[in-house]
Amino acid sequence: MTAPVHGASFEDLAAFLQRPVPDGYPVDVVRECICRSCDGRRFEVQVAAITSAVRRTCLDCGQQVFIADSVEWWDDAEVASCACLCGEEAFAAAAGFSLREPDEQDGTRDVRWVFVGLRCLACGLLGVYEDWKVSWGPSGYLLDQA
């Protein structure tokens, strides 16, 4: 097991998501989760683990948003709230995307894998709380759904 990693900023979380993982896909793009309603950066995060879907709720205004293609796979029956090892449930969040090779005709790149990284706002612990494969396309628009 690796030692816990802590951070204090989005840049720390992005670097954590982009660390090489043996036999894993590289994270090519990291997008910070920012509330579209109030520009908040503090979230409660829920995971539908069986279907690999994530929803974030802004702690400033209450707006709920699904990350990437999660709305397609959401299952309210299997939802769990994310919690840090310290017991807190408030996070800064980011989505990391592994991309497929560029399309030969138009150069676009589809998303291959999504990684949801969280930074505990109480203690700074960083972690990947969910990840999933995207096996359909075109899926490049998911980059705008962090």
pTM over 0.85: yes
- CA torsion, points 106, 107, 110, 115, in degrees to nearest 10? -160
Gap between the Cα atoms of 56 and 138, Å rounded: 24
Q: What are phi and psi of 120, to 5 degrees?
A: -65, 130
Question: How does pLDDT run across 58-117, given as a tens digit for each residue?
Answer: 999 999 999 999 999 898 778 999 999 999 999 999 999 999 988 778 878 999 999 999
Please answer whether residues 72 and 36 qualify as being in contact, where contact means their C-beta atoms are separated by less than 8 angstroms: no
Question: How does pLDDT run across 13-45, given as a tens digit for each residue?
Answer: 999 999 988 888 999 999 999 999 999 999 999
